[in-house]
Amino acid sequence: MPTLPTETKSDLLKYLRFAALENAVRVRYELEIESRNESARLTSFDSDEKKLGDDRPYEILKARFEPLRRQAGKIIELFHGSESVAVKNFSVELVLASEDLRIWTDEELVFPISSES
């Protein structure tokens, strides 16, 4: 199993922190890839595990999504190489206080990283 390069991990943590809403304790980015179409979701959760509403303007959300999409592409390539076109779902989740990070491709956990690593 490949390892996540330190620079990729640092960038991913930075972009997820940047994307999280102010009162979030956890943030999740999900990307669905269907042929040439993509849809993405960014969800922040509070300490009660409830989703926080996000009414930020489109321009701000776009600024949060774009670096996460670039990182998703790099990580999919890292874990799947030339098979990246076969990946239909990518998810990454960060617990902000502990920096616990988990990455899934097609519902399979491919990279858990805890604050101890």
- pLDDT for residue 14 is more than 80: yes
First vs last C-alpha separation in the chain: 16
- Other beta carbons less than 10 A from residue 57's beta carbon: 8
Rounded to an integer, the average pLDDT of 32-49 is: 91
Q: Tell me: the pLDDT tens digits for 45-58? A: 999 999 999 899 99
Q: What rounded mean pLDDT belongs to the chain? A: 88
**Cα separation, 98 vs 81, whole angstroms:** 30
- pLDDT for residue 82 is more than 80: no
For the CA atoms of the chain, what is the radius of gyration? 14
Asked if 103 and 92 count as a contact pair (C-beta separation under 8 A), the reply is yes
Rounded to an integer, the average pLDDT of 94-98 is: 95
Angle, helices 58-80 vs 6-19, to 10°: value is 150
Q: Regarding predicted confidence, which is higher, 36 or 46?
A: 46
**Cα separation, 51 vs 57, whole angstroms:** 18
Could you tell me which residues are beta bridge partners of residue 113?
Answer: 101
Of 96, 113, 98, 99, residue with least CA distance to 21: 96
Q: Tell me the one-letter amino acid at 51.
A: K
